[in-house]
Structure 1
Amino acid sequence: MTEFELPFEPDPRSETLRRLQALLVQRFGHIERAAASWRRPEWVLVQGVIGARTKSEISNAATDRLLKRWGSWEAVADAPLEELQAELATQTYPAIAAERLKASLSALIDLRGAVDLAHLADMETGPAMEWLERLPGIGRKIAAGVMNASTLDRRAVVLDGHHTRILQRMGLVPAKASTARAFDAIMPAMPEEWSGADYDEHHLLMKKLGQTWCRPSAHHCAACPAQALCETGAKRA
């Protein structure tokens, strides 16, 4: 049992998630985790801050580009804002990305003396996420990403727009839940045997589902592998 789970009767949503995972793996195949260089907690934080509404591969390249140009995250924090904006021109919102990145890195340096998240390894997941969310520009999605998708490898589900939308349409979280509320709602239902790597793969598979059949403005329910498990899909059957 994790700190996010409650000592009640088994949640029926857990079995739904198990069945969903199997269907998604059958449709998309297993997904390999990111390379080691992309799993450092500090790298994951930067990628999350600059990645709003931008494809992951573009944000990954931009994150690598920042570190290559300035050599350290401390130097990135000190870089002129206009230069950061120019370097982040590939992002959907480069001006906002640059401002948020500079603010979050500067705040981290003020607190830790460097862009260093090593202390999170000694903290429980909940308090660690709360600590991260006190940094400017860091919400629940990024905090969960740092804890799960990095080498910290914690059992914290990362909810982007695709993932949250699918959970809502399936009836697994409240229909109008914010990211934080959806996180709190789904964590007690996450299968207890799933590892941090399973959480990571689940998120990436849900993202693929949201990019293909369960899109924001189009429901391709007839082709969706999750239709039989979905409240919305059942209505369209």
Structure 2
Amino acid sequence: MSPPPSTSQKVQHNVKKRKNLAKMRAREQQKSVEKIKQRNDAVTFEVIFAGRSNVGKSTLLNKLTGQNVRVGKRPGVTLKPIHLYFGDFLITDMPGFGFMSGVTKEKAEDVKDNIVNYIEDHADRIKIAVQVIDGPAFLEIVERWDARDEIPIDLELHSFLLEMNILPVVAVNKMDKVKEDDMDGMLDQIVEKFGYEGPWKECGLLVAPVAARDGQIRPLTSALKNEFHKMKRDDLFKYLR
């Protein structure tokens, strides 16, 4: 019968085991990095979802694609872009900006800077930006910023997207909270704040009134498919519900 291993042998065995596990994790991490790089290199057409925290971006994206993008209960849960890959087609859920629960002001500014940097770095492949806003709250938010003689972040983002030659589609979410008789008037005011003239259906700004929580997203699906068709990418229809 073999003698039991000594304490020294046990220590050496555990050290060797930890080293092997570390090497295995490093190999797996390297494989993951390479796989992500291959996916990114293949992307030629990207759609991003951007907007303030807690406007329903992730919920809208889930309803639109049928994918399971994390939906946080607190504003600002998403601090990094979340990617959905479909071959050369990529949908990206950008972090929310503005108020972020449990996040320092400095971190919130970093997130906003990262959004700008991401858009600048990938402007060549970002064809469409779905800018999600909280319909019932939007006008009040803009008025608060106007009262401080400041430009609302939402309008800054919109102008920035246009400068980057990225087509913005404004998804006006939470329309289930708006009375039907008030919808057109509210949407007319919203497009006016974005700097467009005329009724919202004729102003030139792509507007999609939706209620993501209730699954009422057809206006956005139709708007995106229409733009895909103009860009000769009907093959992307199958990725939208």
Normalised by the length of structure 1, the TM-score is 0.29
Indicate the structure whose relative CO is greater, using CA pairs within 8 Å and at least 6 residues apart.
1
Instruction: Pick the structure with more helix per residue.
Output: 1
Instruction: Pick the structure with more strand per residue.
Output: 2
Which is higher, the Rg of structure 1 or of structure 2?
Answer: 2
